[in-house]
């Protein structure tokens, strides 16, 4: 087990373009770290430098305290999970897991011990004598994970491991990976372009953009206290709405109407800027007719024409087009493109209670939870209203939760180590019928 | 639904009438065929015989399908032996995955078939040579395979040796050039995969007892390292030995099956010059191109070299007979009609598919030499062929090369369940 430390890491290719630019990141021992960002952000390059597939142009990479910039991949004792998940049809599950050890000429008694421990962790003990053909899809993936675990690597690395699985298996595997990582407590670095995956799996998430690290934090911190426009737009689905606004004290004049954010601290953060971008997440709007008086007072109400609605059962999405000055509209369009989003940037998406009766064409009264509003500098994208104290508190909370979760998982692992998983047999039948 | 086909694709146009709107796994078209000893795949893969050719159809995510389509085309462009990609079907109804269509290699063998039916000594050595050569070509071209293994390769017999063809680029990546780390990592994966595959053959009872999977896997790494070093190493040579040393180096590279693109000599001060050699990534093909130009025959490189030798000696024979010079072109065309065609026509119908025709002809030539040595006098090619077809060809196992077999009806598929591979495949929703 080991911590992985990246210090001022740069990767420059032949054409001089920095694919990774001055990234510093500390991945704690046992931590589940996600690297996320749109394609071309440098996340895979960063992972490959950790593995040793890409040379590091400058900076320092340490694993377990040791500088490994020049160390060959196999000497780094890391396991790329799912790199090799071919299962051999004539070998038993035991041998399918054991073969990396056989290849390393590990003594038989140690092979026995390590494979059995691994199988227990993966709840494959009852299947050790079976052939892969008799396993369900999920079980086969677990055998492949077993092959990585049995090596007793210092860290697990995943490079978009679920991108070629179908949606159902992807969901299952996400749960498996998360559960297993928490039980084993092995340092894990996981690359994905899927922000939902990032938010559900990681202890902390590192968001990258064009090779530059934007923010590292717990999923909740990224969501509540993004450092800039990019992170705010990337994390959350549907994305945060950004409205251009002129500022007059605590009053914002937006295309959806004028409202008072009633927060002196935020107003002060604006400084002498006359225009800002107001960021409001879809769920921080509500149908004003459904908001009680006391809550209503803690926010503001605007009037806007609703273009389209979508009723989803648990909530109602309403789409509210607005006018924006050409330069702001262009900026928002660029951001949207960069985020691979098909969301129209001059249209606000609001998520309302499912009981709302707002319908297309209505001039609707929308309530905004102004305490959750963020203001961004339109030129630099910087979040002017990020609450550092709150961010720190969220960080501490994440650490606490992580510890509690780990303890629970380990206790559960100990308690259930001798009972078998009930879905196994179901899987077997499915295979036979296939 | 949309098809993207690489022109010319006249032969592929017959594929358009397949039931593309349905999931590949549930197709019931009479053109579907089964392939024995095929490799394992994480996706649904099925085979279709259309207008005399067999196609492999693989259902996978559109992004991955497009990527593989692009990479396979790139490999062909570079002249690296790989399966030929025919096209992809995308935008299938109901949000279904794309289907990648590749042309199945005729008369190719899987490593399993070769181990199950060893001919002329154990195949491990020749297989690994071919695989290592392929991996080195890929690395020279900047391809990281990501999953180099015997199962991701098909082998074609080439005058007794093997040519390795890459069949799966799902995990491959193309870079301007590969770093040391990328190459060693790729090689380490290959080592693991090969060992795993040999352990598996061992468990299936197909490995000779004296073959140690780990030793073979380690040996693969040694072969790769030696070949890579020979092709890419830089050496300092003194002015007086320049000509000799360069000629030697080029000869060794040619012997290893590679062509040299560029030789660079850089002045290294007092000690002499630094010799740097750039190797052509493409498989050398001069013999094969020459044979094609002269005869229209498609052959592997070693086969072509052997056939061209036979044409040359036939030309000598013609010249001696007529007492005057005979042009190469004339000799080749006479050889085709009077030597090659009669042999190929005489192959008994029931044995015709055992090997590709050029390889059978090559074996007849070898057999002729063998007979001449045993009998102590000349033997005609026709007589050698007759003897080969009677005593040798019938012993070439039918399963050695992969042939499509008509699909068993759905009821019969259950009976095939005793083959673990079949079940692994059929159960695979992965």
Q: Give the model confidence (pLDDT) of A111-146 as tens digits.
A: 999 999 999 988 899 999 999 888 887 788 889 889
Q: Number of residue pairs across A and B with CB atoms under 8 Å?
A: 112
Separation of alpha carbons A109 and A124, rounded Å: 19
What are the angstrom distances between the C-alpha of A248 and each of A271, A298, A299? 11, 19, 17
* Residues whose CB falls within 8 Å of the CB of residue A153, separated by 6 or more in sequence, listed in order: A77, A78, A79, A186
Contact check, Cβ <8 Å, A13/B170? no
Which among A20, A21, A24, A18 is positioned nearest to A4, based on CA atoms? A24
Structure-token pair, residue A15: 């054409």
Higher pLDDT, A190 or A196: A190
Q: What is the mean pLDDT of residues A237-266?
A: 91
**Chain A residue whose CA is closest to B426:** A434
First to last CA, chain A: 40
Q: Give B280: exposed, middle or buried? Use CB within 10 Å, 0-12, 13-18, 19+.
A: middle
State whether B427 and A133 contact (CB < 8 Å). yes
Chain A residues in contact with B42 by the CB 8 A cut-off are: 85, 164
The CATH homologous superfamily for domain A4-219+411-420 is P-loop containing nucleotide triphosphate hydrolases (3.40.50.300)
A229 burial via Cβ count (<10 Å: 0-12, 13-18, 19+): buried
Contact A73 B185 (CB under 8 A): yes
First to last CA, chain B: 23
User: CA–CA distance from B282 to each of A11, B142, B166, B279, B390 (Å)?
Assistant: 30, 13, 14, 9, 39
From its phi and psi, is residue A153 left (phi > 0), alpha (psi between -120 and 50) or beta?
Answer: beta
Asked whether the beta carbons of A213 and A206 are under 8 A apart, the reply is yes
* Dihedrals phi, psi of B201, to nearest 5 degrees: -60, -40
The Cβ-side half-sphere exposure at A360, using a 13 Å CA radius, reads 6
- Alpha-carbon distance of B88 to A242, in angstroms, equals 40
All structural domains of chain B, each given as residue ranges with its CATH number in brackets, are: 2-104+402-426 (3.30.200), 108-232 (1.10.510.10), 235-279 (no CATH), 286-395 (no CATH)
pLDDT of A335-370, one tens digit each? 888 887 766 678 899 999 999 999 999 999 999 999
Nearest Cα to Cα of residue A124 among A102, A105, A97: A97
What distance in Å separates the CA atoms of residue A124 and residue A128, rounded to the nearest whole number?
6
Cross-strand bridge partners of residue B164: B155
Choosing among A164, A168, A427, A429, which should be mutated to test the B contact, i.e. which has the most B CBs within 10 A? A164
DSSP B272: -
Q: Which of B321, B310, B429, B415 is nearest to B369 (CA)?
A: B310
**Is the peptide bond preceding residue B65 cis, with omega within 30 degrees of 0?**
no
B193/A84 CB distance under 8 A: yes
Contact status, residue A385 vs residue A266, Cβ threshold 8 Å: yes
For strands A66-67 and A58-63, give the pairing.
antiparallel
Q: Cβ contacts (< 8 Å) between B40 and chain A: which residues? A: 86-87, 89
DSSP A235: S
B60 DSSP β-pair partners = B98
Closest residue of chain A to B172, computed from CA coordinates: A83
> What's CA A272's distance to the chain center, in Å?
35
Query: Is A44 near chain B, with CB under 8 Å?
Result: no
Half-sphere exposure for B39 (CA within 13 Å, toward CB): 22
User: pTM for the full model?
Assistant: 0.80
Query: Mean pLDDT, chain A, as a whole number?
Result: 88
* Amino acid B6: pLDDT: 66
Q: Which range, of A29-33, A236-240, B157-161, B401-405, averages the lowest pLDDT? A: B401-405
**Contact with chain B for residue A415, Cβ under 8 A:** no
Q: In angstroms, what CA-CA distances link B199 with B168, B224, B242?
A: 22, 21, 48
Read off the DSSP letter of residue B96: B
Rg of chain A, C-alpha, whole Å: 25
The reply to whether residue A89 touches residue B40, judged by beta carbons under 8 angstroms, is yes
Q: What's the CA gap between B188 and A130, in Å, rounded?
A: 28
The two tokens of residue A404 are 């509690």
pLDDT exceeds cutoff 70 at A84: no
CB distance A35 to A189 below 8 Å: yes
Of B93, B88, B204, B193, which Cα lies nearest the Cα of B145? Answer: B193
A85 touches B at CB < 8 Å: yes
Q: Which of B170, B203, B217 sits opposite A103 (nearest CB)?
A: B217
Residue A68 makes CB contacts below 8 A (sequence gap 6+) with A52, A61, A62, A75, A76
What CATH number was assigned to the domain covering residues A238-383?
A: 2.40.50.140
CA angle A291, A295, A301 (to 5 degrees): 65
Q: Which residues of B touch A164 (CB under 8 A)?
A: 42, 60-61, 64, 170
Q: Do A91 and B200 touch (CB under 8 A)?
A: yes
Residue A368, pLDDT score: 96
Residue B375 burial (CB < 10 Å; 0-12/13-18/19+)? exposed
**A residues 157-186 near B, CB within 8 Å?**
163-166, 169
**Could you give the CA distance from residue B205 to residue B420 in angstroms, rounded to a whole number?**
14
Name the residue among A250, A311, A310, A252 with its Cα closest to residue A279.
A252
Q: Which two tokens stand for residue B235?
A: 């050496």
Q: How many Cα atoms sit within 13 Å of B160 on the Cβ side? A: 10
- Specify the pLDDT at position B419: 38
Task: Using DSSP bridges, classify how beta strands B84-90 and B235-237 pair: parallel, antiparallel or unpaired.
Answer: unpaired
All structural domains of chain A with their residue ranges: 4-219+411-420, 238-383
Q: Which of B379, B377, B385 has its CA nearest to residue B340? A: B385
Show pLDDT as tens, one digit a residue, over chain B (430 residues). Answer: 787 776 555 667 788 888 999 999 999 888 888 876 666 667 888 999 888 788 999 998 888 889 899 999 999 899 899 999 988 999 888 888 899 999 888 888 889 888 888 777 778 888 999 999 999 999 999 999 988 999 889 999 898 889 999 988 888 889 989 999 999 999 999 999 999 999 999 999 988 888 899 999 999 999 999 999 999 999 888 888 888 888 898 889 888 888 888 888 888 877 788 888 888 888 888 888 999 999 999 898 889 999 999 999 899 989 999 989 999 999 999 999 999 999 999 999 988 888 889 999 999 999 999 999 999 998 999 999 999 999 999 988 887 887 777 765 554 443 333 333 333 333 333 3
Contacts of A431 in chain B (CB under 8 A): 423, 427
Q: Let me know the angle formed at the C-alpha of A254 by A250 and A257, rounded to the nearest 5 degrees.
A: 95
> Torsions phi, psi of B56, nearest 5?
-100, 130
**Cβ–Cβ contact A137 with B under 8 A:** yes
- CB atoms near residue B177 (< 10 Å): 11
Among A53, A89, A102, the residue with its CB nearest the CB of B181 is A53
Q: Is the omega angle on the peptide bond into residue A314 within 30 degrees of 0, that is, cis? A: no
Query: Quick check: B423 and A431 CB within 8 A?
Result: yes
> Averaged over A84-109, what is the pLDDT?
90
Provide the CB-side half-sphere exposure for B188 (13 A, CA): 19
Q: DSSP secondary-structure letter at A69?
A: T
Strand A155-159 and strand A187-192: the pairing is parallel
The nearest CA of chain B is from the CA of A49 a distance in Å of 9
A17 vs B contacts (CB less than 8 Å): none
Contact at CB, B40 and A86, closer than 8 angstroms: yes
Q: Is the pLDDT of residue A191 over 90?
A: yes
Q: Which whole number is the average pLDDT over A3-13?
A: 95
Residue B290, token pair as written in the block: 């020459």
Do A19 and A44 meet the contact criterion of CB atoms below 8 Å apart?
no
Reply yes or no on whether the pLDDT at A420 is more than 50. no
Q: Which of B193, B98, B430 shows the shortest CA–CA distance to A164?
A: B430
Taking the Cβ of residue A51 and every Cβ of chain B, the question of whether any pair is shorter than 8 Å is answered with yes
What the block records as the tokens of A204 is: 């902390």
Nearest by CB to B420, from A55, A74, A133: name it.
A133
Contact yes or no for B203 and A90 at CB 8 A: yes
Q: Is A105 on the interface with B (CB under 8 A)?
A: yes
- Inter-chain CB proximity B429 and A166 less than 8 Å: yes
Asked if A306 and A319 count as a contact pair (C-beta separation under 8 A), the reply is yes
Which residue in the set A55, A103, A133 is minimally distant from B424, CB to CB?
Answer: A133
Q: B196 and A73: CB-CB below 8 Å?
A: no
Are A4-219+411-420 and A238-383 in the same CATH fold? no
Query: What is the chain B residue with the closest CA to A140?
Result: B430
pLDDT of residue A83: 59
Cβ separation of B192 and A84 shorter than 8 Å? Answer: yes
């Amino acid at each position: 087990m080991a911590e992985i430390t990246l210090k001022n890491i740069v990767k420059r290719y032949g054409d001089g373009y920095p694919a990774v630019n001055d990234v510093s990141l500390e991945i704690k021992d046992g931590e589940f770290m996600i690297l996320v960002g749109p394609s071309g952000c440098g996340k895979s390059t960063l992972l490959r430098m950790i593995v040793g597939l890409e040379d590091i142009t400058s900076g320092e990479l340490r694993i377990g305290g040791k500088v490994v910039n020049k160390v060959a991949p196999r000497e780094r004792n890391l396991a790329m999970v799912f790199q090799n998940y071919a299962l051999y049809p004539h070998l038993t599950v035991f041998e399918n897991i054991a073969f990396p050890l056989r290849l390393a000429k590990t003594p038989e008694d140690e092979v026995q011990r390590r494979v059995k421990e691994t199988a227990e962790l993966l709840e494959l003990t009852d299947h050790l004598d079976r052939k892969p053909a008799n396993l369900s899809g999920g079980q086969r993936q677990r055998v492949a994970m077993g092959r990585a675990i049995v090596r007793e690597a210092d860290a697990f690395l995943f490079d978009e491991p679920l991108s070629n699985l179908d949606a159902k298996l992807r969901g299952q595997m996400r749960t498996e990976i998360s559960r297993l990582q928490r039980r084993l407590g092995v340092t894990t670095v996981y690359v994905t372009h899927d922000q939902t995956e990032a938010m559900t799996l990681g202890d902390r998430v590192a968001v990258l953009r064009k090779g530059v690290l934007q923010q590292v934090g717990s999923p909740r911190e990224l969501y509540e206290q993004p450092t800039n426009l990019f992170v705010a737009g990337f994390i959350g689905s549907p994305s945060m709405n950004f409205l251009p606004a002129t500022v007059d004290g605590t009053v914002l004049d937006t295309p959806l109407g004028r409202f008072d954010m009633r927060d002196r601290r935020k107003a002060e953060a604006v400084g002498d800027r006359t225009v800002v971008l107001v960021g409001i997440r879809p769920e921080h709007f509500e149908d004003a007719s459904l908001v009680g008086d006391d809550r209503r007072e803690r926010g503001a109400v605007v009037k806007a024409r609703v273009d389209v609605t979508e009723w989803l059962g648990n909530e109602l999405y309403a789409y509210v087009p607005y006018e924006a000055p050409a330069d702001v509209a262009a900026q928002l369009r660029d951001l949207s493109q960069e985020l691979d989003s098909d969301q129209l940037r001059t249209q606000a998406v609001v998520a309302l209670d499912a009981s709302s009766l707002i319908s297309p064409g209505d001039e609707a009264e929308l309530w905004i939870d102004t305490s959750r509003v963020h203001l961004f500098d339109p030129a630099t994208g910087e979040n002017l209203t990020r609450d550092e104290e709150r961010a720190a508190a969220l960080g501490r909370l994440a650490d606490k939760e992580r510890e509690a979760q780990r303890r629970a998982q380990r206790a559960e692992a100990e308690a259930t180590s001798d009972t078998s998983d009930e879905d196994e047999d179901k899987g077997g039948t499915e295979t036979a019928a296939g | 639904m949309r098809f993207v086909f690489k022109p010319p694709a006249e032969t592929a146009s017959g594929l358009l009438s397949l039931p593309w709107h349905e999931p590949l796994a549930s197709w019931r078209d009479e053109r579907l065929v089964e392939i024995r000893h095929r490799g394992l795949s994480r996706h649904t893969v099925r085979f279709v015989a259309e207008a005399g050719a067999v196609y492999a159809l693989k259902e996978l995510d559109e992004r991955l399908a497009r990527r593989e389509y692009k990479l396979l085309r790139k490999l062909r462009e570079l002249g690296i032996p790989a399966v030929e990609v025919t096209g992809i079907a995308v935008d299938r109804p109901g949000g279904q995955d794309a289907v990648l269509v590749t042309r199945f290699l005729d008369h190719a063998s899987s490593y399993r078939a070769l181990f199950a039916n060893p001919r002329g000594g154990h195949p491990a050595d020749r297989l690994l040579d071919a695989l290592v050569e392929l991996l080195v070509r890929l690395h020279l071209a900047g391809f990281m395979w990501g999953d180099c293994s015997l199962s991701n390769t098909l082998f074609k017999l080439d005058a007794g040796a093997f040519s390795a063809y890459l069949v799966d680029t799902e995990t491959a990546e193309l870079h301007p050039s590969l770093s040391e780390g990328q190459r060693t990592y790729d090689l380490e994966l290959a080592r693991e995969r090969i060992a795993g595959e040999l352990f598996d053959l061992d468990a299936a009872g197909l490995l000779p007892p004296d073959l140690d999977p780990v030793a073979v896997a380690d040996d693969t790494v040694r072969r790769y390292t030696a070949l890579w070093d020979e092709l890419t190493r830089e050496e300092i040579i003194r002015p007086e030995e320049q000509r000799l040393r360069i000629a030697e180096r080029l000869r060794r590279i040619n012997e290893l099956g590679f062509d040299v693109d560029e030789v660079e000599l850089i002045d290294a001060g007092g000690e002499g010059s630094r010799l740097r050699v750039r190797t052509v990534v493409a498989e050398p093909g001069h013999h094969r191109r020459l044979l094609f130009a002269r005869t229209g025959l498609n052959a592997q490189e070693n086969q072509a070299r052997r056939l061209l030798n036979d044409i040359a000696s036939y030309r000598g024979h013609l010249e001696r007979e007529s007492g005057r010079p005979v042009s190469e072109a004339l000799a080749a065309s006479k050889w085709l009609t009077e030597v090659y065609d009669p042999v190929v026509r005489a192959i008994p119908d029931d044995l015709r598919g055992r090997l590709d025709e050029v390889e059978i002809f090559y074996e007849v030539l070898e057999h002729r030499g063998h007979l001449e040595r045993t009998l102590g006098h000349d033997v005609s090619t026709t007589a050698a062929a007759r003897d080969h077809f009677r005593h040798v060809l019938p012993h070439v196992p039918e399963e050695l090369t992969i042939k499509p077999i008509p699909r068993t009806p759905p009821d019969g598929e259950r009976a095939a369940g005793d083959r673990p591979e079949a079940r692994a495949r059929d159960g695979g929703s992965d």
